Structure 1
Amino acid sequence: MTESLPYAVPRNQNSPISPPYGLYPELISGTAFTAPRNSNYYTWTYRKYPSVSQLSRLDDGGGGGSIYRKYQGSENFYATSTASTSAEEFTPEPYRFKATEQAQGLGDKQVDWIDSLFTIAYHKGAACGVYDFDKDMSSEMRVFMHHDADVMLLPRENVLNIRTELGVLRAGPREMVLLPRGIKFTVDKVDDGRARGYFLENFGAPFKIPDLGPVGITSGLAHPRHFRAPTASSVEAGDDQQRHLELISKFNGSVYLSRLNKTPYDVVGWFGNYYPTVYDLGLFMAINTVTYDHPDPSIGVMSEFMGLLYGGYDAKQGFEPGCSSIHNKLSPHGPDRATAVGSSNDGQPERYHGTLAFMWESDEAWIPTEQALGVLKDDTYIDCWVGDGGDEQWERWGGLEVAIEAPFAADEGHEEVPSATIKFLGRDIPRHRVENVFKGALGGFVLLNAVMIPLVVPKLSRRYRGPPYLPSTAKSLDAIFNRLLPRSGVTPAKSTFLDLGSGDGRLVIAAASKGNFRRAAGIELNPWLVLLSKIKASTTSGVGVAPHFYWANAFDAGLIRKIDPQVVTLYGRPGDGVMSKYGEVLEEALSSKGGVVISNKFGIPGWGQRLIGEAEGVKMYKIPPQEQHDGDGTSDAATERERMKG
């Protein structure tokens, strides 16, 4: 139960003769009245105006106009009753679709959320796609209601502010929004720039979390208490606004437009179990094997629709945030050729940081829409498995089919050499094993020198004024890339990552590969660690744009300004002024454009008001541009800190 006025919700009955404050009781039914108690969904609301009185005719005349008419604005939001794909266009092939910003004319349209909806695939039980907008629905005085489906939203860029009849919800990347059918809502964006993400229409039974079975009741999977519900908060709209409110509805597969003469956001109190929620996907407790292999306990032969919210996807190069793929039932799929070969050659486990993919599975085949096939389809997708026959050869070795790459491409004067083995003591040794031994020996030599030189060379030792080299732990990497950065408001694909005192480069390499940053750089004073970092970067799979390592002092504010980072990480030590020095340098370097600063373990003196997040002892700060402040006198960092707490 929630109420914005005390005792707005009657305590002993649902619809008394004289409700408190003269409110109107209304029942929103999510299921049949006689459904079993454990699956009966309903909510009682207490509002200022009856919902039926909010509708008005579309014309301003004397009552002769219609109440609803077909809506033409959402040109790519499929009416599921008319969506069709011909048999020639819809085949069992695996499909991949580009992000909206990669398609001409989609990533820059001046539209709000409802007009940006682009349906990619559908079947009789669901439809799904993407949104990409830069205008608020509230500024256009618009409201949406879905009669046919529950709606799921997965933001990937920007934070959504969603006003519903039952209250306000906020959700950003890594969070999931569930909006039940029959509840009106308006979608706005919180920050500047475009808001992008995925949506799903569920025409079937309501969403519910599954039974746990042998997992147990105390933990595992999604926990009910982690789902955030809105609190009642009614608004008063002026007469001018009320006359111009537009209601856009999806009903029986078609989209309609009507007009509201009163705001629907007038609920003063409500109680029940049928309401919108937000869930932080980072709180999901995965259940998996700790021994070997990959259990896949699907209850049917599934067709998969997959998307990527942020970061990189380990099994497909080129699958960027905002992309989508469809693998329908019994269509072969899996990791691409480069991933399979790389994992077979290396054999070492590799943790992915700062990435989040999702999948919608269905026993019905996902049918691509005509618009998606014409505008977003990636026709090169099949090449990630098949190859183009250019500089690739397939050679059988040890009973396995292994793809290898030629040492250099054929050109004038050079003959392509597809050599895959090296003779050693009369035996054929795979080339990659020899290379790995060489890389390991060279890396060990460099690491030994990196540790010893500062101790035995006084000149270098005197110059090295920063903290000692300590590699970042797996917990620190997880805190930075999985728990803090996704809630920082930074879009990695458009940002530069900088690590001060980058050591062996592991943070920078993680940012360039798993973190999906547009550019990643490190500053390190020890030349041997710089060399080791470059070697590791060149031999690490999944690195997109090669990271850059500077042999320089981490306290060089001018160099930091030149690199122009949006995210800066550092490791310091307390007690000798190092953290204070870092604070002074970063204030000087970032004061103009601002940025996010992440300090591993130790706080920066005097930066308490800038702290916006903390995990595993790792602290995240935000420097606003030119220390801008909001109109109420609070700093941007303080506002951001309150947003993250919410």
Structure 2
Amino acid sequence: MPVTQFAVTDTYEYLNGFGGYKESEAIEGTLPLAANSPQKCPYGLYNEKLSGTAFTAPRDENQQTWLYRILPSASHQNFEPVSASSSQGLATPTPSFGTHFNAIPNQLRWDPFDLDKEVSWIHSLHLVAGAGDPTMKQGLGIYIYACGTSMPEKTAFYSADGDFLIVAQHGVLDIRTEFGKLLLRPNEICVIPRGIRYHVTLHNNEPARGYILELYQGHFKLPELGPIGSNGLANARDFQTPVADFIEDYENTQWTVYGKFGGNLFSAKQSHTPFDVVGWHGTYFPYKYDLGRFSPVGSICYDHPDPSIFTVLTAPSHPHGAGTAVADFVIFPPRWLVAENTFRPPWYHRNTMSEFMGLIMGNYDAKGAGKGGFQPAGASLHNTMSGHGPDMQTFEKASTMDLPPTKVGEGSMAFMFESCLMVGVTEWGLKTCQKVQESYNAHSWEPLKVHFKRPESSRGVSNGEKKHAVGDAKDASSVHALR
């Protein structure tokens, strides 16, 4: 399918293309010519540089943007801690990353997470799993969001801890950022980089739910295509960035800015809107992408390929070696399977990477659906070196079925957050949410049958026992003859 068929039309304008340099003006002439910091900016604006990387990062990795705004973001009162019991507080704050995550080898699966019609964006963020420490800019956090109301008027939120990769599963998020507005619908993703302020409004007051990967280190990029060539997977032209759009609200007004900092929430009052950027230019900005535009590749002869061929975005972990990621975002879209004489679902495996999966809609071809199965709005975690693969029913069917060309995943979209780190689970994810399927292993793999049949002509050899067979002498002479 070339694009997703959305129930809600996106009427916002966007700039097309992944990464690179972009610029946008809400009023023509906002951006100064040549100089970034003239003595006086056009229209009496302030200039402010937003840095997503170190000033001295290599040119092809450097992410910086110049903002031209009515008042700078530095103009606010002191930030104060926000209690978790507050209606705008973080429901699952993370005060101690060294002890907060429960690292366990068990395979885990969650029933669909509930919608909460009483809370807005910030309070709906539930930390499920993660690894590392945002204060050291290392690792990642995985969240479920489920909100039923829009953020209060004249409020904004940002995370100083990392980039938010938001995967919409249910409901529409109308997001106003400092850079402009974007609409996020189910089967779309958006990335809001570290530090960027935004406000979330629900479309037609419909509750919204989805998944978030917060990247504490580095930024997402498109994966290298290698032998695939110059096109395929997520094509750069299909990513969309907001155009400049601002509010004039700086007289007799009060706004509250909430910031997530070191895993905890703080708030500050200010006498002007944070959404007053009249123009901007640079390489650091939010963006969105329709997963229906992904162009999958696969085997056209035999064998099931690695899931890495479905990588949409990757965040490399350079200390762990080339080709290793602190986070990969992988999807399993509708696609044709044509491999001959091949077990077509994912094979059984143990992985040095940790795999957190979610289901946006439909059924995943490697797991059973329905109550107690892998369902939309649910999730699973297969941690470092924890064995996993198709459940018993899927194996039995796939190992005996005819193998004509088959379209799988129609009306379905599963995804995976994959990381080289050992991912731990929070108390909320393990106990408080009460969604963990205690019988996941018993349902999926304990029922697997033994299909092994010893050949009639073979009696086997135990360790250390010499093999004696009728043809041994003849076989040995044949070997010497070949030498």
Asked if TM exceeds 0.5, the reply is: yes
- Alpha-carbon separation, structure 1, partners of 2:227 and 2:173: 36
Matched with 2:354 is 303
SS of the aligned residue for 1:37 comes to coil
Q: Structure 2 counterpart of 1:3, which letter? A: E
Matched with 1:181 is 194
What are the residue-to-residue correspondences of 1:231-250 with 2, within 5 Å?
231-237=243-249, 239=251, 242-243=253-254, 245-250=255-260
SS of the aligned residue for 2:190 comes to strand
- Alpha-carbon separation, structure 1, partners of 2:422 and 2:451: 36
- Residue 224 of structure 1 is aligned with which of 236, 239, 255? 236
Aligned residues: 375
CA deviations 1:533-576 (Å, max 9, x no partner) are xxxxxxxxxxxxxxxxxxxxxxxxxxxxxxxxxxxxxxxxxxxx
* More deviation, 90-99/2-11: 90-99
- Alpha-carbon separation, structure 2, partners of 1:386 and 1:39: 44
Matched with 1:534 is none
Matched with 1:322 is 377
What are the residue-to-residue correspondences of 1:383-402 with 2, within 5 Å?
383-387=442-446, 394=449, 396=451
SS of the aligned residue for 2:242 comes to coil
- Residue 381 of structure 1 is aligned with which of 426, 431, 440? 440
Q: CA deviation at 1:18?
A: 1.8
Q: CA deviation at 1:342?
A: 1.4
- Residue 369 of structure 1 is aligned with which of 404, 412, 426? 426
- Residue 339 of structure 1 is aligned with which of 391, 394, 398? 394
Unaligned runs of 5+ in 1: 58-66, 102-106, 401-646
Matched with 2:334 is none
- Alpha-carbon separation, structure 2, partners of 1:357 and 1:190: 24
- Alpha-carbon separation, structure 2, partners of 1:141 and 1:224: 34
CA deviations 1:400-451 (Å, max 9, x no partner) are 9xxxxxxxxxxxxxxxxxxxxxxxxxxxxxxxxxxxxxxxxxxxxxxxxxxx
- Alpha-carbon separation, structure 1, partners of 2:172 and 2:98: 31
Matched with 1:50 is 72
- Alpha-carbon separation, structure 2, partners of 1:81 and 1:49: 35
Please say if residues 250 and 272 of structure 2, whose CA atoms lie closer than 8 Å, have aligned partners that are also in contact. no
Q: Structure 1 counterpart of 2:186, which letter? A: P
- Alpha-carbon separation, structure 1, partners of 2:59 and 2:445: 53
CA deviations 1:235-263 (Å, max 9, x no partner) are 123745x32x2211111232212222210
SS of the aligned residue for 2:390 comes to coil
Q: CA deviation at 1:356?
A: 0.4
Please say if residues 197 and 274 of structure 2, whose CA atoms lie closer than 8 Å, have aligned partners that are also in contact. yes
Please say if residues 168 and 230 of structure 1, whose CA atoms lie closer than 8 Å, have aligned partners that are also in contact. yes
What are the residue-to-residue correspondences of 1:65-84 with 2, within 5 Å?
67-72=79-84, 73=86, 74-79=89-94, 81-82=96-97, 84=99
Q: Structure 2 counterpart of 1:324, which letter? A: A
Q: Structure 1 counterpart of 2:99, which letter? A: S
1:8 equivalenced with 2:30 (yes/no) = yes
The CA RMSD over aligned residues, in Å, is: 2.1
Q: Which of 1 and 2 has greater Rg?
A: 1
SS of the aligned residue for 1:262 comes to coil
Q: Structure 1 counterpart of 2:365, which letter? A: D
Question: Normalising by structure 2, what TM-score?
Answer: 0.73
- Residue 272 of structure 2 is aligned with which of 257, 262, 271? 262
Q: CA deviation at 1:275?
A: 0.2
* More deviation, 322-331/188-197: 188-197
Please say if residues 158 and 191 of structure 1, whose CA atoms lie closer than 8 Å, have aligned partners that are also in contact. no
Aligned identity (percent) is 38
Q: CA deviation at 1:36?
A: 1.2
1:358 equivalenced with 2:415 (yes/no) = yes
- Alpha-carbon separation, structure 1, partners of 2:279 and 2:250: 21
- Alpha-carbon separation, structure 2, partners of 1:294 and 1:78: 41
Q: CA deviation at 1:343?
A: 1.5
Q: Structure 2 counterpart of 1:22, which letter? A: G
Q: Structure 2 counterpart of 1:369, which letter? A: T
SS of the aligned residue for 1:340 comes to helix
What are the residue-to-residue correspondences of 1:117-136 with 2, within 5 Å?
117-124=125-132, 125-136=139-150
Matched with 1:191 is 204
Instruction: Report the structure, 1 or 2, having the larger helix content.
Output: 1
- Alpha-carbon separation, structure 1, partners of 2:175 and 2:95: 25
What are the residue-to-residue correspondences of 1:504-543 with 2, within 5 Å?
none
1:208 equivalenced with 2:265 (yes/no) = no
CA 1:292–1:121 in structure 2 vs 1: closer, same or farther (change >3 Å)? same
- Alpha-carbon separation, structure 1, partners of 2:190 and 2:109: 25
Q: CA deviation at 1:225?
A: 1.8
Matched with 1:21 is 43
1:31 equivalenced with 2:53 (yes/no) = yes
- Alpha-carbon separation, structure 2, partners of 1:180 and 1:303: 23
SS of the aligned residue for 1:39 comes to coil
Q: Structure 2 counterpart of 1:379, which letter? A: E
SS of the aligned residue for 1:100 comes to coil
- Residue 115 of structure 1 is aligned with which of 123, 129, 141? 123
Question: Normalising by structure 1, what TM-score?
Answer: 0.55
Q: CA deviation at 1:397?
A: 7.1
- Alpha-carbon separation, structure 1, partners of 2:45 and 2:367: 56
Please say if residues 76 and 371 of structure 1, whose CA atoms lie closer than 8 Å, have aligned partners that are also in contact. no
Q: Structure 1 counterpart of 2:176, which letter? A: R
CA 1:96–1:10 in structure 2 vs 1: closer, same or farther (change >3 Å)? same
- Alpha-carbon separation, structure 1, partners of 2:28 and 2:445: 66
- Alpha-carbon separation, structure 2, partners of 1:247 and 1:297: 40
CA 1:336–1:399 in structure 2 vs 1: closer, same or farther (change >3 Å)? farther
SS of the aligned residue for 2:222 comes to coil
Q: CA deviation at 1:212?
A: 2.2
- Alpha-carbon separation, structure 2, partners of 1:47 and 1:170: 23
Q: Which has the higher contact order (CA 8 A, sep 6+)?
A: 2
Matched with 2:329 is none
SS of the aligned residue for 1:295 comes to coil
CA 1:395–1:165 in structure 2 vs 1: closer, same or farther (change >3 Å)? closer
CA 1:39–1:82 in structure 2 vs 1: closer, same or farther (change >3 Å)? closer
Unaligned runs of 5+ in 2: 1-22, 133-138, 309-322, 325-351, 456-483
Please say if residues 358 and 379 of structure 2, whose CA atoms lie closer than 8 Å, have aligned partners that are also in contact. yes
SS of the aligned residue for 1:211 comes to coil
- Alpha-carbon separation, structure 1, partners of 2:69 and 2:452: 73
Q: Structure 2 counterpart of 1:210, which letter? A: P
Q: CA deviation at 1:288?
A: 1.9
Q: CA deviation at 1:221?
A: 1.9
SS of the aligned residue for 1:51 comes to coil
CA 1:167–1:287 in structure 2 vs 1: closer, same or farther (change >3 Å)? same
CA 1:100–1:141 in structure 2 vs 1: closer, same or farther (change >3 Å)? farther
1:253 equivalenced with 2:252 (yes/no) = no
Please say if residues 94 and 100 of structure 2, whose CA atoms lie closer than 8 Å, have aligned partners that are also in contact. no
